[in-house]
Structure 1
């Protein structure tokens, strides 16, 4: 009984310590660069969402195994904030 409860605790601790994945796309920027490093690079692939335009992203991706995509989570159709007028008097 001691062995099985120790095994359950060990397996539970290992699964709780497994890394979780963060949100892939940052909604603050409209353009993301999808970087592929493949098996030789050893790093897999990831998204870098820190670009304000496609030409800026394409210049950074030039010469790399990367593509530029529009960020699907960037809020495009958000209404601009209404101006606030102060009352005088």
Structure 2
């Protein structure tokens, strides 16, 4: 019985892991659409503005969020120009 249980457990774990879907945040876009569904939630980052995302989310079980991994320009850092004398 033990010899039969190990392969069955291994197959069950493999099938469970295969159905899991990773949520990725595309660092090229600042806005993401998070959708909620019966079979799971999904996040897709492909929006350049909050307005564009809200139009896509309209009428759906979804919300727009700011991409925490956006790799755009950092407005807090500025470059100082050397003074000319």
Shared fold by TM > 0.5? yes
Query: Any residues of structure 2 matched to 1:55-66 within 5 Å, and which?
Result: 55-66=51-62
Measured in 2, the distance between the counterparts of 1:10 and 1:53 equals: 48
Segments of 5+ residues of structure 2 without an aligned counterpart are 75-85
Query: Structure 1 25/52 Cα, relative in aligned 2: closer, same or farther at 3 Å?
Result: same
Measured in 1, the distance between the counterparts of 2:34 and 2:53 equals: 10
What residue number does 2:26 align with? 26
Segments of 5+ residues of structure 1 without an aligned counterpart are 79-89
CA RMSD, Structure 1 to Structure 2 (Å): 2.0
What residue number does 2:82 align with? none
Single out whichever of 3-12 and 15-24 deviates more from structure 2.
15-24
Query: Structure 1 17/8 Cα, relative in aligned 2: closer, same or farther at 3 Å?
Result: same
Aligned length: 72
Query: Structure 1 29/44 Cα, relative in aligned 2: closer, same or farther at 3 Å?
Result: same
